[in-house]
Structure 1
Amino acid sequence: MADLVGVFAASHTPVMLNFPDAVEEADRSAVYDEFRKLGAALAATKPQTVIVISDDHLHNFFLDNLPAFCIGAADSYASPAEHWLAVDRHALRGDSALSAHVLGEALEAGFDPAFSMQLTLDHGVLTPLVLAGLSRQVAIVPILVNCVQPPLPTMARCLQWGRFLSTAIRSYRGCERVAILATGGISHDVATPRMGMINEAFDREFLRLLELDDSEQLLRFATDHVNEAGNGAEEIRNWLMAHGAAAGHRFELQFYRPLHKWYTGIGMARWHTGDAS
């Protein structure tokens, strides 16, 4: 049986790679240092595979074909999908056996995900892995959540997915150590007049409720107020999946800073789960 040895979350935004000088040197250094710390902490859990929960920014899917959840089921993934992302093109190593297990367990448990063997992964997956120094170091199973275009999966469903995911991992016999990295958010707005505006109050309350671990309050706040934090804030669904997978283990916010010139509330956190606590 596999152990869930670590659960982590981090914001993603391509401008951290494309426009590093848009922010003050102190801010840039702080963010990059925290990503390196996150990468070291994740690596210290010695995972054989990392399940990366992110979203597709209309590169693999579009408005006429947009699954709520899609499990990557390939042995490798081309990246990045964006030709303009300032990172060398390289393949991310996959774990198709674990992907198949999660898919089968999901169907048995009453979930109905799509799956794909042809994903080209974008900045949502790649940026955190690159900044954490992990993109060439770990095998991954990507799970892509529709955080882009309504109808979106509910916040409650994403929390349920996370709870299911921890059970599916622990029933897997193909390896012994699996970690989760959720990426996205927190507050930001893309391609609207509000781009660059950050709702710090929303971010801090969402993070506080993760620490409080009251699912009812957390889901009510996320559902009722996400629209106040920008269209990109819908990616808090990925954090909720990680929170569900952590199954009540202690949440620790490791870094938060609102960076308007990077358009995003940048956060990094972990849940103290598994034997890495």
Structure 2
Amino acid sequence: MGKSIAPTGDAINRPVRYRGDASLHRLTSDSNHSEIRQVIMAKIVLAAGVPHPPRLVKEIEDSQEPLKSEAMFRQVRQHVEKAEPDVIIEVDSDHFVNFFYNNVPAFCLGLAEESEGPQEIWCPMPQYTVKGHVPMAQDLLSYGIGSNFDLAAAHELRLDHSIMIPLHFLNPGMEIPVMPLYVNGFAAPLPNAPRCFSLGQMIRGFVEQWGGNERIAIIASGAFAQDVGGPLRGWIDEEWVDTVSGLLEEGKYETLAGRATAERMAAAGNNSSELLNWITLTGAVGDTRPLFVETDNGSAYGVWELDK
């Protein structure tokens, strides 16, 4: 997939990198605390939403013609490269690899030092080992619980295609540590969309108070309207796709969260509650509007640039 997009070196131990106004590069002994925090504070530099068709890697390899999905992943990856993230928070819905109907947490944070995937033997793509960022994940867990989010924690994870397809294209060398954040998108009762939006806001608050200097990308993985093996298979609720993409483009994130009821998402197909992952992302981007939202077969590709 070409050159690695990851920065070299250990992101946790990396020296502070000074960016932005050149006056901030010349800190003196009488510089005040706020100036120092402006230089060294962690920040969300990029957010992106993408789909995760399980056979996409093979389809691209076998296709005699360029596919839209390949071009779109390439475009998103260019923005990831530009942002130079040190850590990725990937918001996803587990496809019954780690959890099943008898025990599905509303929200679960991955705390594994490393994980492997994809676990599905039928998913035609390379196998990878993905590094975690345990110190940050542990602090996010504590911060989340202190913010009244009863997050579950998983110290061991098996990564499925919905995590690995985006990483294959956007973090192909797997050098960038990844913190998986699972949102229940399949086993009713689902977390409601406004709660997922608030979860994203909590993540933003955590990053702003985190003591490191990491540059963080948030990636949401999932569809807007899709039915897998059900009575709506093959049909795409284009009206709902247009509604979702339009509200994203306009930056009307809370309006989207209000309209994305469990009933409305179910009407668009049994896989459509993956939209909750995107809604979680929107809670973390503040008032920033996307550079683009490009729909594709019931899903979409979108990028938010926050490092300005």
CA distance in 2, matches of 1:174, 1:218: 32
2:20 maps to: none
1:94 maps to: 132
Q: Which has the larger radius of gyration?
A: 2
Code of the residue aligned with 1:56 in structure 2: it is D
- Measured after TM superposition, the shift of residue 112 of structure 1 is 0.5
TM-score by length of 1: 0.90
2:251 maps to: 213
Matching of residues 216-235 of structure 1 within 5 Å: 216-223=254-261, 225-235=264-274
Structure 1 residues without counterparts, runs of 5 or longer? 259-264
The answer (yes or no) to whether the contact 2:113–2:132 under 8 Å persists in 1 is yes
Code of the residue aligned with 1:266 in structure 2: it is S
Q: Residue 156 of structure 2: which of 102, 109, 118 is its match?
A: 118
1:127 maps to: 165
1:271 maps to: 304
State which drifts further: 54-63 or 191-200.
191-200
2:236 maps to: 198
CA distance in 1, matches of 2:194, 2:172: 30
Does residue 278 of structure 2 align to residue 243 of structure 1? no
CA distance in 1, matches of 2:241, 2:213: 36
- Measured after TM superposition, the shift of residue 211 of structure 1 is 2.1
Q: Deviations over 1:85-139 (max 9, x none)?
A: 1112221111111111110100111110100111011011101111335352311
State which drifts further: 14-23 or 209-218.
14-23
CA distance in 2, matches of 1:84, 1:205: 34
CA distance in 2, matches of 1:5, 1:117: 27
For the structure 1 residues 73 and 21, does the alpha-carbon distance in structure 2 shift closer, same or farther, using more than 3 Å as the test? Answer: closer
1:42 maps to: 80
Q: Deviations over 1:11-54 (max 9, x none)?
A: 1121313445898834x2x2101101211211211111010000
1:65 maps to: 103
Code of the residue aligned with 1:13 in structure 2: it is P
1:11 maps to: 51
Q: Aligned residue pairs: how many?
A: 267
- Measured after TM superposition, the shift of residue 171 of structure 1 is 1.3
CA distance in 2, matches of 1:212, 1:36: 24
Does residue 296 of structure 2 align to residue 257 of structure 1? yes
For the structure 1 residues 239 and 233, does the alpha-carbon distance in structure 2 shift closer, same or farther, using more than 3 Å as the test? Answer: same
CA distance in 2, matches of 1:205, 1:59: 31
State which drifts further: 127-136 or 46-55.
127-136
Greater relative contact order (Cα < 8 A, sep 6+): 1
Code of the residue aligned with 1:144 in structure 2: it is Y
Q: Residue 181 of structure 2: which of 133, 137, 143 is its match?
A: 143
CA distance in 2, matches of 1:22, 1:218: 37
CA distance in 2, matches of 1:22, 1:193: 29
Does residue 119 of structure 2 align to residue 81 of structure 1? yes
Structure 2 residues without counterparts, runs of 5 or longer? 1-40
- Cα RMSD for the two superposed structures: 1.9
CA distance in 1, matches of 2:305, 2:215: 15
CA distance in 2, matches of 1:193, 1:13: 19
TM-score by length of 2: 0.82
State which drifts further: 13-22 or 58-67.
13-22
Q: Residue 31 of structure 1: which of 66, 69, 87 is its match?
A: 69
The answer (yes or no) to whether the contact 1:11–1:186 under 8 Å persists in 2 is no
Code of the residue aligned with 1:217 in structure 2: it is T
Classify the secondary structure of the residue corresponding to 2:122.
coil
Classify the secondary structure of the residue corresponding to 2:167.
helix
- Measured after TM superposition, the shift of residue 227 of structure 1 is 2.1
Code of the residue aligned with 2:199 in structure 1: it is W
Matching of residues 159-178 of structure 1 within 5 Å: 159-178=197-216
The answer (yes or no) to whether the contact 1:37–1:132 under 8 Å persists in 2 is no
CA distance in 2, matches of 1:254, 1:132: 17
